[in-house]
Amino acid sequence: MKKRIFVTATNTNIGKTYTSLRLLEEYASRGLKVGAIKLVETGVVDGLYPDGELLLKKMQELNPLLGEFRVEDVVPISYELPAAPYIASQGKALDFDVLNRAIEKMEKYCDVLILEGAGGLFVPVDGNFMMIDLIQFFSATGLLVTHCSLGCINDTLLSLQSLQSRNIDAAMAFNCREEDSDFAQISEPFFLHNDIEVLKVDEDIDTICDVLYNF
């Protein structure tokens, strides 16, 4: 089985897709064949996949073997309503056969496969599964993407505790944006004082990739 990395986050709009794109670029720069699957995407209207299209374009740029893949190969399950999959699907059970077929198809051409979740760890996928359940189900290493704005201490610790309580192998990355210039003053000191490594998506992507690959 190839290396699988499941990109999740502390909430929605934290930067999962941005981080996935950076991971693809870094692993490809090391000579590895890369691919990505957004397992479930909501908010897909008129055939437009906001995250899926970005992932497809990037992975085809980096891995010519995926030139014939379509956005439906990257996003095997999609819904129109921009809500949690459980809501968007009206409670429909997640079709794991569809997801497994999509993964198997892409892994034929990959050394590293990025699996991107939707929303945060406890977004309901269907009546039985939360997003956090899919990390171990797909035998992946987790990457928790967190933010750098006020409130990140609480959000980050809650998500880390959830991953650790389930013995999920996971790294963590901070996606700091331009407006987060005060992170070093208001939040980062807490993490450093408590020996929580602060790896930033834009500054430390090489280290993040090393940590994930060596789990």
* Residue found under tokens 């709009």: 13
Q: Out of 38, 57, 105, 200, pick the active-site residue.
A: 38
Would you say the C-alpha torsion 74, 168, 200, 156 has a positive or negative sign? Answer: positive
How does DSSP assign the chain, residue by residue? --EEEEEEESSTTSSHHHHHHHHHHHHHHTT--EEEEESEEE--BTTB-HHHHHHHHHHHHH-GGGTT--HHHH-SEEESSSS-HHHHTTTPPP-HHHHHHHHHHHHTT-SEEEEE-SSSTT-B-SSS-BHHHHHHHTT-EEEEEEE-STTHHHHHHHHHHHHHHTT--EEEEEE--GGGTTHHHHTHHHHHHTT----BTTT-HHHHHHHHHT-
CA contacts within 13 A on the Cβ side of 32: 20
* Residue found under tokens 């991971």: 23
Told to judge if 38 belongs to the known catalytic residues of this protein, a careful annotator would answer: yes
User: Any idea which residues carry the catalytic annotation?
Assistant: 38
